[in-house]
A and B are shown apart, each in its own frame.
Chain A
Amino acid sequence: EAGVVQSPRYKIIEKKQPVAFWCNPISGHNTLYWYRQNLGQGPELLIRYENEEAVDDSQLPKDRFSAERLKGVDSTLKIQPAELGDSAVYLCASSGLPTNTGELFFGEGSRLTVL
């Protein structure tokens, strides 16, 4: 069974340019997460979806970040315009059970470098 698929794996852009990341969760998983991981730190939650509804986006910088999960499957995270401080790894995860025992499955991440 395929895991969580993310693309691109690497992206280098100049500041003020837009960038988008794509995530395909594990088939059948209703919950999808976007995390951001700065160098040397643990991942930080940006947004969580239950099906197509964003149920927790309190940590998403809404002035420049946006996300969507059309049809409750794939998701896209966009940054426009990118700033130097946005350089990080953007991780997507999915889970199938909104319960205490539900584990998260992570993709390999998309590494963004803003010059």
Chain B
Amino acid sequence: DAKTTQPPSMDCAEGRAANLPCNHSTISGNEYVYWYRQIHSQGPQYIIHGLKNNETNEMASLIITEDRKSSTLILPHATLRDTAVYYCIVTNAGNMLTFGGGTRLMVKP
């Protein structure tokens, strides 16, 4: 699986959009981009995934660049409950996940 690079931490003001970047320059054509998050003292939770096209669900939007070498997870209106570690994972099998260090997002009032 391709490796990913994420900033170790980010801050966001409550009510503003949180944009979490992820670099995956070695991604191959059959690999998906998955995002999970882990709130303190809980297990990781699936957020969204995509292959080429941008995706949106009730939790977030995923923007994948045309060359697929990077992506951005967007939380449109961050709340305090969105404070968590966000993991970007690239894999050709959604049931085979290799977690990196993730980005620790702190949403501040």
| A103-B46, A106-B45, A108-B41 known; A42-B99 Cβ under 8 A | yes
Total interface residues in chain B, CB < 8 Å: 23
Q: Does B100 reach chain A (CB closer than 8 Å)?
A: yes
Which A residue's beta carbon lies closest to that of B46? Answer: A103
Q: Does A72 reach chain B (CB closer than 8 Å)?
A: no
Q: Does A95 reach chain B (CB closer than 8 Å)?
A: yes
Total interface residues in chain A, CB < 8 Å: 25
Number of CB contacts from chain A to chain B under 8 A: 56
0 or 1 for each of B7-34: is its CB under 8 Å from A? (1 = yes): 0000000000000000000000000101
| A42-B100, A45-B98, A101-B49 known; A108-B43 Cβ under 8 A | yes
Instruction: Find out whether the CB atom of A42 lies under 8 angstroms from the CB atom of B95.
Output: no
Instruction: Find out whether the CB atom of A95 lies under 8 angstroms from the CB atom of B99.
Output: no
Instruction: Find out whether the CB atom of A103 lies under 8 angstroms from the CB atom of B43.
Output: no
**Which among A40, A95, A106 is the interface contact of B43 at CB below 8 angstroms?**
A106
| A46 CB contacts on chain B under 8 angstroms | none
